[in-house]
Structure formats: structure tokens, C-alpha cells
């Protein structure tokens, strides 16, 4: 039996996240979209905490809400938003796209409900106290090779970003 | 209230599906390429939420994976935004449907 | 043995100087340039002195063998992978060392090249002080020293050829030093091209030697040549030596390739002194002397050398009689003296020839440097008709030139007397007198030499002043850097001959004995051969009789005296518009001499083709015109014909291409494909989002299928 607060916070955070998501895709001003996205990210960080993943939640706040979103805001600053604000925001096929996406979502939910019985009832015990240590054990042990590849990926991304953004190489 | 009160994995999956659908809608309908990138972030976060929800059932592997996903998201954002800057410099626009060079 | 072991440094010092000038010269101060370049030559000179001094000790202990120092193999290999077949079918390695050889012959050249070179370098610091391209000049001079030292120190013909081409290049660069003057660059081209003819001869001779002896090393070739395997008069050796002599003719300005040397006077005067009087032009003499073992096996070549030498001597001397440009007189004098040297070599008196090279280096360098000093004083005037009465105004120059003139005219006890007299005596006495006609030629040349040299002195330093007032006002003695080398050279011009003081005058002829290890055997062979010739002719052997030698000596001194007297009579009081005695006596002769026997014109008609005979052009340009005609009419006609055929076939193939290939096959297929591809084209929007939409729709389809199948 869970405390009632859990239910409350789930719906609160889920609502904020969905609200943020809706705002992201509907705002005219890209800065507003970015701020809405930050709202979503922070709500999700809260949900991660509820899922016994404090480390991922921290990473989510620091890296996503802190790092990546600042990057977004910089780029919005670099490209002129005034001009794009005055233009049509949605493309010609927006209705088809909307319908297709909603159909996809409906399908997902249908599948989840249909396959609900497949999920194990018993939850594993995740100790919050040594969560970071556990992740670190996996990262530098079982997933070491993957980890190195990820670092290589970041290096490539850095070089790629510099090459793209530079005026003249 | 029981069904509503008991927050199960399914709740999280439905939330993730909702965010995913919102992201897809953004990607499919918006013209502003910056917002399209943000929508992609939304999709990635939906995936992360899925991973963490399942990690509640199966153990820490999901959390480790979500770290990798965040890494990928960072790389993708850096490169994507670089492309946007180059794109804007050449075309003076951020509208994705004004790029149709792939059409013969 | 320090100097001897590091003998390879001698050419490298000036090479270093040249490299410094090449890379950094533009940025250096004139003073730095002087210190580096003169210093490098001074080092070479000191090192050469040390090496020669140590060689004496070494030679005592080693049976007077030549000293060799092989650094490495620079051409070919010593592993036997690159062999070629010699004339008798054996294999010989294709190989040339970067090796150095020191024997009395190269020692003499080494000493006077570095010594005279040093003095001329010092002189140049004064002479060129106000000229542009100072560093360039000294860079070239140092490069020349390097090449010349390579030439004389190499231990094989290939390395000698490297130096040979190097000095040719430097000669070209320095003659054309004032390259903005068309005459200078034309003279440089002439020198270079004429030298190429000689070089071709040298190369062919070298190849012949390589083919016949299987080696290019002097030591190997000499050993084989002296081994007795080859008959005297061997045709291959005769051919090789004649080819080598063609090379010597080019480099040492002998008939018929002498034409470049008088024109080479367009270069700066120190260059004329160093390259075109003292050192480079004696390279041919060196080469013939170095190949003496081969030459004695080829009497025909020896006779050719002697006759060409004698003819050159008198030919050039006669032109020198009437020239008015002070440097040209000296140039023809140089050609004439080189002729003497070859005469000596040709009659088998190698040591006498080398001795004359040695003494000539000093007094001719002195004459040129003195002439440079005169020109310097006269503000660039070279025409002796506009000189006169300079003796008091530039006394040092006057005295040194006078000494050199006495030396070249053969007045005892100056240097030229000993060497020239030795040559004349050897010509008289060798082969039992077969060459006495050449002695007569040499004797007349000696008279002419005395005449034109004293004519030069009288016209320049005596008589009435014939220059402009402006020029007269500026006459001044040259700076110390120029007069000191003059004085040193004057001392050498007096004393150098004493080294070869002949037996008949109570001396010991140390010079000839010093060269004995190189020449003695050959001289003997040659004399024996001469004996045979005498037997055939039925003549008695001419004894080396003192009375006759004294008589000849007296005769040649008397000839010098007569030359002096004639010159004094006609020129001692020359005023403006003075009369040339030859012109008054025989105007056609004078005109012929003044125009140098029209040799340049004849060459223009026959070889270069710059002048036409009627409508016909001969020579190189004639060949060019002929080949131009062939090119225009025959080759181009063929080309145009081929072109027309090609155009016709092109038209046919164009029609085929346009209507059949393009029209039917390409465009026809495209026309069919176009409507067929209508549906596929419809899907190609080119917009990313539409593709993404299709993806999503597909995803929906797949998920639906797998969820409810």
C-alpha cells in the first residue's frame, strides 16, 4: 500500500509534464517552448525520484534542464525568432500528422492494456542509498565498452558541432 | 479510487506514451526546426521514462540505459543545433519545409 | 697527417662560403660578405699548403705514389650490381668515387689556384666595392673555387668532369655578371655554348676510356696504360685522347674553339684574371697533363696537340698586335700563352708546359688585375687609344704591370723567361728536331708577344695623355686592397721562374724534378719513340748541347728586345691620332687582324647561321630554318590532312551520335521511362517531415498488425 501522497504527486507531475509537452508544440515563440520544455523535464525528474532513480533524476536536472536547454536558448538567440513568429507555425499536412500521431498513441495504450498481464507483479528492491554506486558498478563494469563508445560519440559530436557551426574552416 | 490510487507501471507507460505522442505531433506538424528538435527531446524523455519504469520491475539496467540515452540526447542536441546554425546562415530561415533539396 | 687526411675540406670551404652567400647573402653586410668569402678561400689556401707540405713527407715514405682519399662512391655502386662490358668482354663496375688525389701535379695546381684565387678575392673586395650584387659576385667566385678545386683534386675523370662543368657554369654566371648589358649576356651564352662542344668531346673521351680501360680512376688507367699491353699508336687510345683534347680546346680556348675567351672579357676584371687567365682556362692543360700516360701512347694526338698549340699561339698573338681594348689584348695574349702550353705538352715536355702554366698564372693574373686597376683609375675606360701618360699618376700599378710585361716578354730573370725558354728549347730538341718548324712559330710568337705587351705599356703609361679632361681629373691610385695583391703577384712574377732555373744556367730545375713522379716515365717513352723516328729519318740525335741552348736563349731574349724596340719606336710618344705601324705598312693585313681574321663572321656563316650566304642559311639557324620548313610543309601538312580525315569521320560519328545514340537510344528510352515513373516521382516530396509522417503511418500499421494478428 502506497501513501496517498504518491498518487497525488504522480498525477500532479504527470499533469505538469503533459501540460509542458502541449505548450512546447503549440507556442509561437520558441523561447516559450523552451521554457515549457524545462517544465516538462523538471516534472519528469520528479517522477524519476518516485521511481527510485535519484541519480538519473539529478542527471536529468543538471544535464538536461541545465545544459542542453541553455544550448537551445543560445541557438534561439542566434536565429531570428521575430521573423518566424509572424509566419505560419504548422505545415500543410498538420492534420494528417496529428491524426497519425494520435493513432499511434492509441495503439500504444491499446497494446499496454492488452499486454498488462505480462508485467511481473513483484517489484525489485531498489535501494535508494546505493543507487549511484550501483549505476557506477554497471557503467564501469558491465557496460564499460558501451561507456567508451559513448565517450567517442560525444567526441564526434563535439567535432561535428564545431565543424557545422564554424563559418569557415 | 483503488485503480486510480494504486500507481502502477502502466500509469507511467501511459504517461510516456502521451509525451511520445506529443513529441511526434511536434515533429510532424511544426515548421520551426528548433521546436522540432525540442520535440525530439520530448520523445527521448518519453523513452527514458519508459526505461525507468521498467527498471522498477527488472533492476538497475534500465537506469544505466537512461544515462546513455541522455548522453545521446546531448550529442544529438549539439550536432542538431550546429546544423540549425549552418542552415540559418545559408537560408536565413528556420522553416524546415523550405528545405526541399532532396527533391529532384 | 692531419691536413692530408682531411684534404676533402679544401674544396668544401669555398662551397660553404658559396652556400652562405646563396641562402643569406642578400641580407649580409658587404663587410661580412668579404670576411666570409675571402676567409674561406684563405682557409683553403692554408689547408692546401699544409696538405702539400705533409704530402712531401708521405711521398718520401710511399715511393712517390699519389695520395688518395676516397670518401664514398657517388656515382654507380661498388657492389657489382651495375656492371658494364668493356671492350675485351670483361665486366667492370659502373662506379665513380668522391675521392681526392694529391700528387705533385695536382699539388702545383692546388697551390696556385688557391693562392692566386686568394689574392684575387682580396683584390675584388676593393674593385667591386661600389658595385651592386656584391654578395652575388663573391658567391659565384667561391662557387668557382669549389668547382675548380673539385676539378683538380678529383681522383677520376667523372669527378673531374663535375668540376669541369662547375667551372663552366661559374664562368657563364660571372661573364654575364652585368646581365643587364646585352653584350655581357651574349658573351656569357657564347662561352657556355662553345664550351658545350668541348664538353661533348670530353664526355665521349671519358666514355671511351671507361669502355677501354674499365675504370675512370687515374690510378687504374695510368697503371693499365703503362703496363705495356697497349701498342704505341693504338687507334682507340688515339681516338680517346683526341676527344679529350677537343674538351681541352673548348675549356682552354684553343683553335678552333677559342672564340669565347676574348668575348668573356665582358665580365668584371677580377673574373677575367681569376677564371679567364690564371686558373680555369688551364684546366685543359691540366687534363692533358693528367692523361699524359695515354697521350704518349698516341703520337698522332701528341702531334695534333703540338700543332694546334703552336698555331693558336701565333694566331692569337697576331690578333693581339692590333687590338685597342686593353683587356682584349690580354685576352688574346692568354690564348696565345695557352697555345704555348699545349705546344709544350704536344712535344712531350709536360713539365715545361706545367711550369709555364704556373708562371703564367702569376704574371697574367697580375696583368689583368693591373689592367683592372688602370680601368678603375680611368673611370671605366678600356680603350688604350684614350689613355697615355699614366706612369706617374698610378705608380704602383705601373710598376707591377711593367714587371708582368717583362715576365711575359721573356726577359731574364723574370718568370716568363724560364718557362717560355724551356718550352722553346724542348720544342727544338724533342724528337730529334721534328718540331723545329713549330719552334720557329713559337719564336715568332715570342717576338709578337714582346711587341704587343710593350705596345700596351707604352700606350697606357707613356706618350701624351689622350683622355678627356673630366677623366684625367679623376685619375687616382687604387685602394690598398687592390695594390697589395698586385705587389704580391709582382713578387711572384719575378721569383716563380727561379723554381725552374735550368741546368744550363747553373740551376737545378727543381720544378721539373718535383714533377718527375708524374711525368718522368712518359717523357722517357716519348723520347725513345722520337729516337725511332730519327732512325727512320736517318738523322743524328740532337745532343742537349749547351752552346746551342745558349744560342736559342740569346735568340729569344733578342726577340723580346726587338719587340720592345719596335714598340718603343712607334708608341713611346703616341699622341692623339697616332699611327699604327701595321696599318701604314699593309692596310689589308691590319684590317684582317683588326677583325680577328673574320673568324666570328665565318662561324656566323657556317655554324650559327646568323649570316646568310646569298639566300642560303647554313649552320644551326639554317638547320632551324630547314626544320621549320619541314615542320610547316611536311609535318603540318600531314597533321592537317589527318585533321581533315578526322573531321569528316567526326561529322559522320556526330550524326550517328546525335540521331541514333542520343535520339533513339538515350532520349527514346527516357521518353518511355518518364511516364512510367510518374507514380514513383509522386512520392519524392523532398521534405523531411513528410517522410517522417510516412514513417509514423508505417509504424502504426506495423504495431496494429502485430497487436491484432
How many structural domains are present in chain A? 2
Q: Are residues A20 and A78 in the same domain?
A: yes
Compute the count of residue pairs across chains A and C with CB atoms less than 8 Å apart: 27
Is B102 domain-assigned?
Answer: no
Convert the pLDDT of each residue in C633-679 to its tens digit. Answer: 999 999 999 999 999 999 999 999 888 888 888 888 888 888 888 88
Assign residue C202 a region (left: φ > 0; alpha: ψ between -120 and 50; beta: otherwise). Answer: alpha
Query: Helix C299-320 and helix C326-346: axis angle, to 10°?
Result: 160
Is residue C693 within 8 angstroms of chain B, CB to CB? yes
Q: Are residues A15 and A78 in the same domain?
A: yes
Convert the pLDDT of each residue in B20-43 to its tens digit. Answer: 999 999 999 998 889 999 999 999
Compute the count of residue pairs across chains A and B with CB atoms less than 8 Å apart: 243
Is residue C695 within 8 angstroms of chain A, CB to CB? no
Cis omega (within 30 of 0) for bond into C413: yes
Residue of B17, B32, B87, B103 best to disrupt the C interface, most CBs of C under 10 A = B103
Give the residue-averaged pLDDT of B50-77. 90
Is A153 domain-assigned?
Answer: yes
Q: Tell me which chains share at least 3 CB pairs under 8 Å with chain B.
A: A, C
How many structural domains are present in chain B? 1
Using DSSP, state whether C646 is helix, strand or coil.
helix
Give the residue-averaged pLDDT of C548-563. 87
The whole-angstrom separation of Cα A60 and Cα C618 is 96
Chain C residues with beta carbon closer than 8 angstroms to that of A88: none
B78 and A157: CB-CB below 8 Å? yes
Picking from A39-43, C203-207, C423-427, which range would have the lowest pLDDT averaged per residue? C423-427
Is A46 domain-assigned?
Answer: yes
Assign residue C332 a region (left: φ > 0; alpha: ψ between -120 and 50; beta: otherwise). Answer: alpha
Query: Helix A144-165 and helix B61-91: axis angle, to 10°?
Result: 10
Interface of A with C (CB under 8 A): 91, 93, 96-97, 100-101, 103-104, 107-108, 110-111, 114
Picking from C26-40, C503-517, C657-671, which range would have the lowest pLDDT averaged per residue? C503-517
Cis omega (within 30 of 0) for bond into C483: no
The whole-angstrom separation of Cα C162 and Cα C154 is 9
The whole-angstrom separation of Cα C247 and Cα C440 is 27
Convert the pLDDT of each residue in A34-84 to its tens digit. Answer: 999 999 999 999 999 888 888 999 999 998 888 888 989 988 888 877 777
Give the residue-averaged pLDDT of C9-23. 92
- What's the ipTM? 0.88
Cis omega (within 30 of 0) for bond into C116: no
Structural domain harbouring B36? 9-95
Domain endpoint, select from A86, A108, A140:
A86
Query: Which pLDDT belongs to residue C498?
Result: 86
Query: Which pLDDT belongs to residue A1?
Result: 46
Is A99 domain-assigned?
Answer: no
Q: Report the candidate in C559, C575, C592 with the shortest Cα–Cα distance to residue C322.
A: C592
This prediction has a pTM of 0.66
The residue in chain A having the minimum alpha-carbon distance to the alpha carbon of residue B33 is A30
Query: Which pLDDT belongs to residue C388?
Result: 83
Q: Å from C683 to nearest chain B CA?
A: 10
A79 and B34: CB-CB below 8 Å? yes
Using DSSP, state whether C84 is helix, strand or coil.
strand
Is residue A125 within 8 angstroms of chain B, CB to CB? no
Across all residues in chain C, what is the average pLDDT? 86
Q: Tell me which chains share at least 3 CB pairs under 8 Å with chain C.
A: A, B
Q: Å from A37 to nearest chain C CA?
A: 21
Residue spans of beta strands (DSSP E) within C17-147? 67-76, 83-85, 91-93, 95-102
Chain B residues with beta carbon closer than 8 angstroms to that of C684: 102-104
Count of all residues that appear for chain B in the document: 104
Q: Å from B76 to nearest chain A CA?
A: 7
CATH number for the domain harbouring residue A25: 1.20.120.1200
Is A121 domain-assigned?
Answer: no
Residue pair C373/C394 in contact by the 8 Å Cβ criterion? yes
Is B101 domain-assigned?
Answer: no
Query: Which pLDDT belongs to residue C432?
Result: 61
DSSP summary character for residue C156: B
Using DSSP, state whether B13 is helix, strand or coil.
helix
Chain B residues with beta carbon closer than 8 angstroms to that of C688: 96, 99, 102
Query: Which pLDDT belongs to residue C529?
Result: 61
Is residue A34 within 8 angstroms of chain B, CB to CB? yes
Residue pair C532/C419 in contact by the 8 Å Cβ criterion? no
Is A116 domain-assigned?
Answer: no
Chain B residues with beta carbon closer than 8 angstroms to that of A76: 34
Using DSSP, state whether C556 is helix, strand or coil.
helix
The whole-angstrom separation of Cα C404 and Cα C416 is 9
For residue C476, give every residue at least 6 positions away whose Cβ sits within 8 Å of its Cβ, in sequence order, or none. C377, C393, C394
Is residue B41 within 8 angstroms of chain A, CB to CB? yes
Q: Are residues A143 and A80 in the same domain?
A: no
Please report how many Cα atoms fall inside a 13 Å half-sphere around the Cα of residue B75, on the Cβ side: 17
The residue in chain B having the minimum alpha-carbon distance to the alpha carbon of residue C696 is B24
Picking from C236-250, C308-322, C485-499, C581-595, which range would have the lowest pLDDT averaged per residue? C581-595
Is A11 domain-assigned?
Answer: yes
Q: Are residues A11 and A76 in the same domain?
A: yes
Is residue B67 within 8 angstroms of chain C, CB to CB? no
Is residue B79 within 8 angstroms of chain A, CB to CB? yes
Radius of gyration of chain A (CA): 20
Using DSSP, state whether B30 is helix, strand or coil.
strand
A157 and B75: CB-CB below 8 Å? yes
CATH number for the domain harbouring residue B42: 1.10.287.3510
Is residue B101 within 8 angstroms of chain C, CB to CB? yes
Strand partners, C102: C67
The residue in chain C having the minimum alpha-carbon distance to the alpha carbon of residue A100 is C697
Q: Band the pLDDT of C503: cuts 50, 70, 90.
A: confident
Domain endpoint, select from A17, A52, A86:
A86
A94 and B56: CB-CB below 8 Å? no
C696 and B24: CB-CB below 8 Å? yes
B103 and C689: CB-CB below 8 Å? no
Structural domain harbouring A137? 130-169
Convert the pLDDT of each residue in C278-294 to its tens digit. Answer: 888 999 999 999 998 88
Is A77 domain-assigned?
Answer: yes
Q: Are residues A59 and A2 in the same domain?
A: yes
For residue C520, give every residue at least 6 positions away whose Cβ sits within 8 Å of its Cβ, in sequence order, or none. none
Chain C residues with beta carbon closer than 8 angstroms to that of A103: 700
Is B41 domain-assigned?
Answer: yes
Q: Band the pLDDT of C157: cuts 50, 70, 90.
A: very high
Query: Which pLDDT belongs to residue C329?
Result: 92
pLDDT at position C170 over 50: yes
Q: Band the pLDDT of C540: cuts 50, 70, 90.
A: very low
DSSP for C347-386? TT-HHHHHHHHHHHHHHHHHHHHHHHHHHHHTTT--BGGG
Residue recorded with cell 663535375 = C162
Compute the count of residue pairs across chains B and C with CB atoms less than 8 Å apart: 31
A105 and B41: CB-CB below 8 Å? no
Chain B residues with beta carbon closer than 8 angstroms to that of C687: 96-97, 99-100, 102-103
Amino acid at each position: 500500500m502506497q501513501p496517498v501522497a504518491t498518487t497525488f504527486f504522480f498525477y500532479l507531475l504527470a499533469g505538469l509534464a503533459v501540460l509542458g509537452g502541449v505548450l512546447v508544440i503549440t507556442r509561437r515563440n520558441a523561447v516559450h517552448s523552451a521554457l515549457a520544455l524545462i517544465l516538462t523535464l523538471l516534472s519528469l525528474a520528479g517522477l524519476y525520484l518516485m521511481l527510485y532513480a535519484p541519480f538519473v533524476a539529478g542527471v536529468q536536472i543538471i544535464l538536461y534542464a541545465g545544459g542542453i536547454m541553455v544550448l537551445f536558448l543560445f541557438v534561439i538567440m542566434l536565429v531570428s525568432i521575430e521573423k518566424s513568429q509572424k509566419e505560419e507555425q504548422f505545415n500543410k499536412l498538420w492534420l494528417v500528422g496529428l491524426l497519425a500521431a494520435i493513432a499511434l498513441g492509441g495503439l500504444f495504450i491499446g497494446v499496454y492494456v492488452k499486454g498488462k498481464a505480462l508485467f511481473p507483479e513483484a517489484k525489485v528492491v531498489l535501494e535508494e542509498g546505493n543507487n549511484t554506486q550501483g549505476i557506477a558498478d554497471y557503467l564501469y563494469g558491465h557496460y564499460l565498452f558501451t561507456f567508451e563508445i559513448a565517450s567517442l560519440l560525444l567526441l564526434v559530436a563535439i567535432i561535428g558541432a564545431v565543424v557545422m557551426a564554424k563559418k569557415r574552416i | 479510487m483503488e485503480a486510480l490510487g494504486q500507481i502502477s507501471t502502466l500509469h507511467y507507460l501511459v504517461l510516456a506514451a502521451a509525451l511520445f505522442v506529443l513529441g511526434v505531433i511536434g515533429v510532424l506538424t511544426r515548421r520551426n526546426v528548433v521546436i522540432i528538435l525540442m520535440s525530439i527531446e520530448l520523445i527521448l524523455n518519453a523513452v527514458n521514462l519508459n526505461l525507468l519504469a521498467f527498471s522498477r520491475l527488472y533492476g538497475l539496467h534500465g537506469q544505466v540505459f537512461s544515462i546513455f540515452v541522455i548522453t545521446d540526447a546531448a550529442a544529438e542536441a549539439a550536432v542538431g543545433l550546429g546544423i540549425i546554425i549552418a542552415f540559418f546562415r545559408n537560408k536565413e530561415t528556420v522553416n524546415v519545409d523550405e528545405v526541399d533539396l532532396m527533391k529532384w | 697527417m692531419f691536413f692530408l687526411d682531411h684534404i676533402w675540406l679544401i674544396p668544401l670551404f669555398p662551397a660553404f662560403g658559396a652556400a652562405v652567400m646563396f641562402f643569406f647573402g642578400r641580407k649580409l653586410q658587404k663587410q661580412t660578405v668579404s670576411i666570409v668569402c675571402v676567409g674561406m678561400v684563405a682557409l683553403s689556401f692554408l689547408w692546401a699548403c699544409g696538405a702539400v707540405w705533409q704530402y712531401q713527407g708521405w711521398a718520401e715514405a710511399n715511393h712517390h705514389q699519389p695520395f688518395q682519399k676516397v670518401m664514398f662512391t657517388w656515382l654507380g655502386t661498388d657492389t657489382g650490381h651495375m656492371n658494364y662490358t668493356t671492350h675485351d668482354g670483361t665486366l667492370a663496375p659502373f662506379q665513380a668515387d668522391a675521392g681526392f688525389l694529391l700528387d705533385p701535379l695536382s699539388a702545383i695546381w692546388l697551390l696556385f689556384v688557391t693562392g692566386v684565387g686568394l689574392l684575387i678575392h682580396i683584390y675584388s673586395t676593393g674593385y667591386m666595392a661600389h658595385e651592386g650584387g656584391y654578395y652575388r659576385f663573391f658567391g659565384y667566385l667561391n662557387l668557382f673555387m669549389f668547382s675548380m678545386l673539385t676539378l683538380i683534386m678529383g681522383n677520376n675523370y667523372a669527378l673531374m668532369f663535375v668540376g669541369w662543368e662547375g667551372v663552366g657554369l661559374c664562368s657563364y654566371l660571372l661573364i654575364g655578371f652585368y646581365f643587364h648589358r646585352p653584350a655581357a649576356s651574349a658573351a656569357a651564352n657564347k662561352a657556355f655554348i662553345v664550351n658545350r662542344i668541348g664538353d661533348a668531346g670530353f664526355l665521349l673521351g671519358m666514355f671511351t676510356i671507361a669502355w677501354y680501360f674499365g675504370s675512370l680512376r687515374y690510378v687504374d688507367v695510368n697503371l693499365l696504360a703503362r703496363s705495356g699491353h697497349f701498342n704505341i699508336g693504338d687507334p682507340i687510345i688515339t681516338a680517346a685522347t683526341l676527344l679529350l683534347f677537343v674538351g681541352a680546346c673548348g675549356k682552354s680556348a684553343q683553335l678552333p674553339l677559342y672564340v669565347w675567351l676574348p668575348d668573356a672579357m665582358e665580365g668584371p676584371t677580377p673574373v677575367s684574371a681569376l677564371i679567364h687567365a690564371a686558373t680555369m682556362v688551364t684546366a685543359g692543360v691540366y687534363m692533358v697533363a693528367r692523361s699524359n700516360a695515354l697521350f704518349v701512347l698516341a703520337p698522332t694526338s701528341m702531334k695534333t696537340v703540338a700543332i694546334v698549340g703552336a698555331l693558336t699561339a701565333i694566331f692569337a698573338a697576331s690578333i693581339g698586335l692590333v687590338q685597342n681594348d686593353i683587356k682584349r689584348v690580354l685576352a688574346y695574349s692568354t690564348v696565345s700563352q695557352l697555345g704555348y702550353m699545349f705546344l709544350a705538352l704536344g712535344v712531350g715536355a709536360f713539365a715545361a708546359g706545367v711550369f709555364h702554366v704556373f708562371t703564367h698564372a702569376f704574371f697574367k693574373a697580375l696583368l689583368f688585375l693591373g689592367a683592372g686597376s688602370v680601368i678603375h683609375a680611368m673611370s671605366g675606360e678600356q680603350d688604350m687609344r684614350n689613355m697615355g701618360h699614366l706612369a706617374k699618376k698610378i705608380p704602383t700599378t705601373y710598376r707591377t704591370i711593367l714587371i708582368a710585361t717583362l715576365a711575359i716578354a721573356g726577359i731574364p730573370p723574370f718568370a716568363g723567361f724560364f718557362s717560355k725558354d724551356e718550352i722553346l728549347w724542348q720544342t727544338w730538341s724533342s724528337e730529334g728536331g721534328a718540331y723545329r718548324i713549330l719552334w720557329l712559330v713559337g719564336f715568332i710568337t715570342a717576338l709578337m708577344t714582346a711587341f704587343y705587351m710593350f705596345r700596351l705599356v707604352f700606350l697606357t703609361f707613356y706618350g701624351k695623355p689622350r683622355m678627356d679632361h673630366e677623366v684625367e681629373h679623376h685619375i687616382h691610385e687604387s685602394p690598398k686592397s687592390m695594390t697589395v695583391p698586385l705587389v704580391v703577384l709582382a713578387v711572384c712574377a719575378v721569383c716563380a721562374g727561379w723554381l725552374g732555373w735550368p741546368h744550363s744556367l747553373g740551376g737545378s730545375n727543381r720544378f721539373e724534378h718535383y714533377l718527375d713522379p708524374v711525368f718522368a716515365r712518359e717523357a722517357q717513352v716519348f723520347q725513345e719513340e722520337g729516337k725511332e723516328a730519327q732512325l727512320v729519318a736517318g738523322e743524328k740525335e740532337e745532343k742537349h748541347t749547351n752552346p746551342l741552348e745558349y744560342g736559342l736563349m740569346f735568340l729569344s731574349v733578342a726577340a723580346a728586345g726587338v719587340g720592345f724596340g719596335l714598340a718603343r719606336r712607334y708608341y713611346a710618344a703616341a699622341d692623339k691620332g697616332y699611327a699604327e705601324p701595321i696599318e701604314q705598312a699593309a692596310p689589308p693585313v691590319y684590317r684582317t687582324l683588326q677583325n680577328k681574321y673574320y673568324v666570328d663572321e665565318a662561324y656566323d656563316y657556317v655554324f650559327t647561321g646568323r649570316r646568310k650566304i646569298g639566300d642560303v642559311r647554313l649552320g644551326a639557324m639554317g638547320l632551324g630554318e630547314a626544320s621549320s620548313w619541314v615542320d610547316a610543309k611536311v609535318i603540318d601538312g600531314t597533321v592537317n590532312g589527318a585533321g581533315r580525315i578526322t573531321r569528316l569521320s567526326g561529322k559522320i560519328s556526330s550524326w550517328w551520335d546525335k540521331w541514333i545514340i542520343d535520339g533513339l537510344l538515350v532520349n527514346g528510352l527516357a521518353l518511355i521511362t518518364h511516364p512510367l515513373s510518374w507514380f514513383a516521382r509522386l512520392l519524392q516530396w523532398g521534405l523531411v517531415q513528410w517522410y517522417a509522417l510516412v514513417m509514423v503511418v508505417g509504424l502504426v500499421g506495423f504495431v496494429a498488425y502485430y497487436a491484432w494478428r
